[in-house]
Amino acid sequence: MDIERRGQWLRGVLDLCVLGLLRDRESYGYQLAQALDTAGIGPIQGGTLYPVLLRLQRTGLVTAQWREGTAGPARKYYQITDLGRAALRQGGRDWAAFVTPVTGLLTERAER
């Protein structure tokens, strides 16, 4: 896949993907990066991920606390807020409204 284009798409939705991952459980940066990779979004470097987390925190969509995990060192755990859940729902609707017509156009063209 065209890496540059993929990067552009990702910039538009990475915050929503992170909110999606935090919907059901709290998590920390490295774990989120792995989960994004597992979900098929691809490897996301720390240099891309943490600025997104900071922006989510600044805008009140997530909160964060430093805590000792069950194993290993203290980590900064992120939790989604009610505001974050609302943003995720709205973002999900907006994404569907955007991607459905795009998919329609692309697949029609391909079949012709």
> Which residues make up the interface to other proteins (CB under 8 A)?
28-30, 33, 45-47, 50-52, 54-55, 58, 66, 72-76
Q: Which is nearer to other proteins, 67 or 89 (CB)?
A: 67
Q: How far is the CB of 60 from other proteins (least distance, A)?
A: 12
Q: Which is nearer to other proteins, 44 or 88 (CB)?
A: 44
Q: How far apart are CA 97 and CA 9, in angstroms?
A: 15
Burial class (CB in 10 A: 0-12, 13-18, 19+), 86: exposed
Q: Which is nearer to other proteins, 75 or 85 (CB)?
A: 75
Burial class (CB in 10 A: 0-12, 13-18, 19+), 53: buried
Q: How far is the CB of 73 from other proteins (least distance, A)?
A: 6
Cα 74 from chain centroid (whole Å): 23
